[in-house]
């Protein structure tokens, strides 16, 4: 951070003395007013529900410009990474700050690959869950439980321990997600294979079984890899902030990632692609779209167009265009262009892109609209969509957690409040209340 030449002066109408605060400049983005001494100088807090105007940390990992529709990982546009790099290269970038050369990538991939197996006793852990348990509840439990099996790398102040934990989390998340799916459908767990790529290995663990070997389809593997890249990190969102807040207490990385998974489980955050696909199923057929659109436009109906628009991106989601291309590639590869559900999705997309109501409100299809369609085409059940999201976002969480631990300015998270309850009062004896 660089201190600005200008200062921010806060004046009070209640007679309190004015205060001056330094202004910091990032490499890009809005300037930040450092208000850390506000309470000491004035006895007052700021009030910012949802942290709409608050920077809780400084970070060099991900940058978003919602007005421009720009997403950068370590300075690289997401559009270039999704086309010219794979997920393992993106993981290396987010962790280390630079894209790997050939030798660095080979070593990194080899290290991750050799950590994909989970402890054999994890199989017994799964038996404690009901078969119909939601995959996210299973992942919260199993990821958090990794600390019980890998307690040789829990010293968060040791850079080597943090590195080992990061590799273990990146490597084992696909295995746990696949095990969660297999357990839910009553099939035996499939062990990871060291001769397959990260995304191909995941699909193999998901869809292979002892009776039939899974045949890797490069188009489908690349589609999954792109989903992982596009969801790998997204600045200080709710789940990432949760990971940082949990980590600020000194909690181990497995507990912090489990906390992130729990937050991502919320339908307002990680469940958007699941909600978008459920919306399509509720619409049912192309013929029902006009009536559905009319309901969306009726403010009193409570019906929302899921998978369109974005809180951060005011014009368009840069990930959506890439996911749209992938969506059409997958449907073409699998011969699903005429599938009723996918025809419905494409017709809804066309109407929303051309209807003045949605265009004027900039409600363009976002990445969740297309990723849900792609995952469904790949054979991934709707209930596991957010689990795939968690698998992708693990690298972002662990990179953000690692950055926070190494930041000398970081303190345990402790938001304050505007108290609106009762003032001090006495507890009367029972017979006098």
Kindly state the tokens that stand for 142. Answer: 């199993």
Say which residues have a Cβ less than 8 Å from residue 79's Cβ, sequence separation at least 6: 318, 321, 322
- Asked whether the beta carbons of 320 and 366 are under 8 A apart, the reply is yes
Edge-to-edge strands of the sheet including 70-73?
Answer: 62-65, 70-73, 76-77
Q: What are phi and psi of 38, to 5 degrees?
A: -60, -50
Considering 86, 368, 407, 431, which one is annotated as catalytic?
368
- Asked whether the beta carbons of 390 and 264 are under 8 A apart, the reply is yes
Kindly state the tokens that stand for 27. Answer: 């490499």
158 is catalytic: no
Considering 204, 231, 234, 310, which one is annotated as catalytic?
310
Separation CA 174–CA 117 (nearest Å): 10
Separation CA 412–CA 407 (nearest Å): 12
407 is catalytic: no
Rg (CA), the chain: 24
The CB density around residue 71, as the number of other CB atoms within 10 Å, is: 25
Q: Which active-site residues does the annotation give?
A: 310, 368
């Amino acid at each position: 951070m660089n201190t600005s030449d200008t200062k921010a002066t806060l004046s009070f109408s209640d007679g309190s003395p004015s205060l001056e605060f330094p202004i910091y400049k990032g490499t890009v983005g809005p300037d930040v007013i450092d208000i850390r001494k506000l309470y000491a100088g004035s006895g007052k807090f700021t009030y910012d529900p949802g942290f709409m105007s608050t920077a809780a940390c400084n970070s060099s990992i991900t940058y978003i410009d919602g007005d421009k529709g720009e997403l950068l990982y370590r300075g690289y546009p997401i559009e270039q990474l999704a086309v010219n790099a794979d997920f393992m290269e993106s993981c290396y970038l987010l962790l280390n700050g630079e894209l790997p050369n050939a030798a660095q990538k080979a070593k990194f991939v080899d290290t991750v690959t050799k950590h994909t197996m989970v402890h054999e006793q994890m199989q017994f852990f799964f038996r404690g869950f009901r078969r119909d348990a939601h995959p996210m509840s299973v992942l919260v439990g199993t990821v958090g439980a990794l600390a019980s099996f890998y307690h040789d790398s829990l010293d968060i102040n040791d850079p080597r321990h943090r590195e080992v934990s990061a590799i273990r989390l990146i490597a084992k998340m696909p295995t746990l997600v696949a095990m969660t799916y297999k357990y839910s459908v009553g099939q035996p767990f499939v062990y990871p294979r060291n001769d397959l790529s990260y995304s191909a290995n995941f699909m193999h663990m998901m869809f292979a079984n002892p009776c039939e070997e899974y045949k890797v389809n490069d188009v489908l593997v690349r589609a999954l890899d792109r989903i992982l890249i596009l969801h790998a990190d997204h600045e200080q969102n709710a789940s990432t902030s949760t990971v940082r807040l949990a980590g600020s207490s000194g909690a181990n990385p497995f507990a912090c990632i489990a906390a992130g998974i729990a937050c991502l489980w919320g339908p307002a955050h990680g469940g958007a692609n699941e909600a978008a696909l459920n919306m399509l199923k509720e619409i049912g057929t192309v013929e029902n779209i006009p009536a559905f659109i009319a309901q969306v436009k009726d403010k009193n109906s409570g019906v929302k167009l899921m998978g369109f628009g974005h809180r951060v991106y005011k014009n368009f989601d840069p990930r959506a265009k890439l996911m749209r291309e992938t969506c059409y590639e997958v449907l073409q590869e699998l011969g699903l262009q005429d599938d009723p559900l996918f025809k419905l999705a494409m017709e809804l997309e066309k109407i929303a892109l051309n209807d003045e109501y949605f265009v004027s409100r900039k409600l363009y299809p976002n990445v969740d609209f297309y990723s849900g369609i792609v995952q469904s085409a790949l054979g991934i059940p709707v209930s596991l969509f957010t689990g795939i999201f968690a698998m992708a976002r693990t690298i972002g969480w662990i990179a953000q957690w690692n950055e926070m631990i190494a930041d000398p300015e970081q303190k345990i998270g402790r938001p304050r409040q505007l108290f609106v309850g009762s003032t001090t009062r006495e507890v009367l004896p029972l017979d006098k209340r």
